[in-house]
Amino acid sequence: MSATSVPNGTAIIGGGITGLAAAWELAKAGQPAVLIEKDSALGGVIRTDHVHGCVIEAGPDSFLAAKPAALELIHEMGLSDQVIGSNDHLRVTYILKGGRLIPMPDGLMMMIPTKLLPVAMSPLLGWGTKLKMGLEYFSKSNPDAPERSVAQLVREHYGQEAVDYLAEPLLSGVYGGDPESLSANAVLGQFIELEKNYGSLTKGTLALRAQRKGPAGSLFKTLKGGLGQLIDALSQRLEDKVERRTATVQSIAKIPTGWRIGLADNQTLDVAKVLLAAPAGPTSQILSGLDPELSALLASIPYNSSMTIALGYDRKTLGHPLNGFGFLVPKVERRKLVACTWVGTKFNYRVPADKAILRCFLGGAHLDEADDRLVAAVKGELADLMGVTAEPAFVSIQRWRNAMAQYTLGHQQRVKTIRQLAARHPGLALAGNAYEGIGIPDCIRGAREAVKQLR
């Protein structure tokens, strides 16, 4: 047994963006901290690879610009001049229907139609759905509506086809989940508010847009050299301020001076406070001895797995104009691909002019298939859907096991109870993508709140 201690210090468990943002908050306040990450690399699911002059994101590629926390952290890291927006003037997203890639009609905000003519002209939806979309404008508000799944909410407003060909593919890019089990209240909270205030989601979205001042700006932001730039900057700035340990945390226990952290290989670390920034599964295991009730509730938050497979081509061999951001594949179309991003169109600085990157997403069901089988299947579908038969010059595969928290029905109540149970342990805080938002800005905001709570 080897024991060490950081008296008055805070242990941050997990070195993804949540743990790093928390470490930065503590460093700014001059408080002693130790960051414990099981992997040799920091950043968690944020990882940028540089291959043949291309910037390839193995995990997230951007963040929602409307949520300020990520941009604030980027500014604090001195990276403001590296921020770029998505090329929204080129934004066309195709949806696969009946084997054909059909552009999403103009004026759709997620699955909410705000312009009738483009929807009416689009072959993506049948006439029954178009009629329902038009009549939705006259929906009455029901402030007492119970919690509903994403599928229930969208079906009520726009019908099943809007679930299958809009809600499911659009949300599977974010959660990889099933709209029948995802909670609309947890993942589409703004729609629930619109419904309460206006009845019609279309009417509410139009009203919000009318209130918005100034030009819209890019929907997504990122960094020229990839989101790994943020991780590198955080790692550098934290180097002489926060102690770093590469170790797997197994348990935590209360001691008179604070907390004893049990690490692999019989090591322990004593600290004053603990901030758990690992996903809910490992957090549940770490807490199992301390608080079985809290641990069980954390274990009940499901996580999805996914995969990114980036294929790099010589541009001149591709034989496709890449005239859009890429395409989404509804589950009902029964393909292996879930989505494909045409990286060089979506963002500048990512792909040299003589190259092309098709960044494909697959669901967790294929995680254990061999690389060569996966690549052959993806190439087959790209040939079928985009007519791309060229051989890729390189391929980069990343498997993300249990990385994406699923906010299923009851999530908000579950998190409320988790927060109440965690409050029984002063000096312990929880943050990460399991709770109040899975996007990068939400994780950073959650990290800041957890640090505040520990003060």
Ligand X SMILES: Cc1cc2nc3c(=O)[nH]c(=O)nc-3n(C[C@H](O)[C@H](O)[C@H](O)COP(=O)(O)OP(=O)(O)OC[C@H]3O[C@@H](n4cnc5c(N)ncnc54)[C@H](O)[C@@H]3O)c2cc1C
Name the residues that contact ligand X, by CB under 6 A. Answer: 13-19, 36-39, 44-46, 59-63, 248-249, 277-279, 282, 286, 306, 308, 400, 403-404, 432-433, 438-440, 443
Compute CA distances 270 → 7, 16, 36, 256, 334, whole Å: 7, 22, 13, 10, 52
Sequence-ordered list of residues with C-beta below 8 angstroms from that of 150, at least 6 positions apart, any chain: 163, 167, 171, 179, 180, 182, 183, 184, 187, 188
Length of the chain: 455
In angstroms, give the least distance from the CB of 436 to ligand X: 11
In angstroms, give the least distance from the CB of 170 to ligand X: 13
Give the residue carrying structure tokens 């291309």: 54
Alpha helices in 387-432 (DSSP H): 411-422
Q: Return the number of other C-beta atoms located less than 10 Å from residue 211's C-beta.
A: 6
The Cα–Cα gap between 161 and 176 comes to: 19
In angstroms, give the least distance from the CB of 104 to ligand X: 18
Instruction: Using the minimum distance from each CB to ligand X, give the nearer residue, 141 or 267.
Output: 267
Alpha helices in 251-370 (DSSP H): 280-287, 292-299, 315-318, 343-346
Q: Are the beta carbons of 167 and 154 closer than 8 angstroms?
A: yes
In angstroms, give the least distance from the CB of 398 to ligand X: 7
In single-letter form, the type of residue at position 331 comes to: K
Helix (H) or strand (E) holding 360: strand 355-363
Here the tokens at position 224 are 């020229």
In angstroms, give the least distance from the CB of 219 to ligand X: 11
In angstroms, give the least distance from the CB of 34 to ligand X: 12
Instruction: Using the minimum distance from each CB to ligand X, give the nearer residue, 313 or 347.
Output: 347
Alpha helices in 254-342 (DSSP H): 280-287, 292-299, 315-318
The Cα–Cα gap between 69 and 120 comes to: 38
Instruction: Using the minimum distance from each CB to ligand X, give the nearer residue, 63 or 94.
Output: 63
Instruction: Using the minimum distance from each CB to ligand X, give the nearer residue, 27 or 277.
Output: 277
Instruction: Using the minimum distance from each CB to ligand X, give the nearer residue, 60 or 258.
Output: 60
Give the residue carrying structure tokens 């043949």: 52
In angstroms, give the least distance from the CB of 411 to ligand X: 15
Instruction: Using the minimum distance from each CB to ligand X, give the nearer residue, 51 or 116.
Output: 51
Instruction: Using the minimum distance from each CB to ligand X, give the nearer residue, 69 or 95.
Output: 69
The Cα–Cα gap between 394 and 402 comes to: 26
Instruction: Using the minimum distance from each CB to ligand X, give the nearer residue, 105 or 279.
Output: 279
In angstroms, give the least distance from the CB of 351 to ligand X: 17
In angstroms, give the least distance from the CB of 265 to ligand X: 13
Q: Are the beta carbons of 173 and 339 closer than 8 angstroms?
A: yes
Q: Are the beta carbons of 66 and 74 closer than 8 angstroms?
A: no
Helix (H) or strand (E) holding 158: helix 150-158
Compute CA distances 298 → 2, 126, 443, whole Å: 30, 42, 17
In angstroms, give the least distance from the CB of 405 to ligand X: 7
Instruction: Using the minimum distance from each CB to ligand X, give the nearer residue, 63 or 325.
Output: 63
Burial (CB < 10 A; 0-12, 13-18, 19+), residue 260, is middle
Instruction: Using the minimum distance from each CB to ligand X, give the nearer residue, 390 or 429.
Output: 429
In angstroms, give the least distance from the CB of 304 to ligand X: 9
Instruction: Using the minimum distance from each CB to ligand X, give the nearer residue, 198 or 220.
Output: 220
Burial (CB < 10 A; 0-12, 13-18, 19+), residue 156, is middle
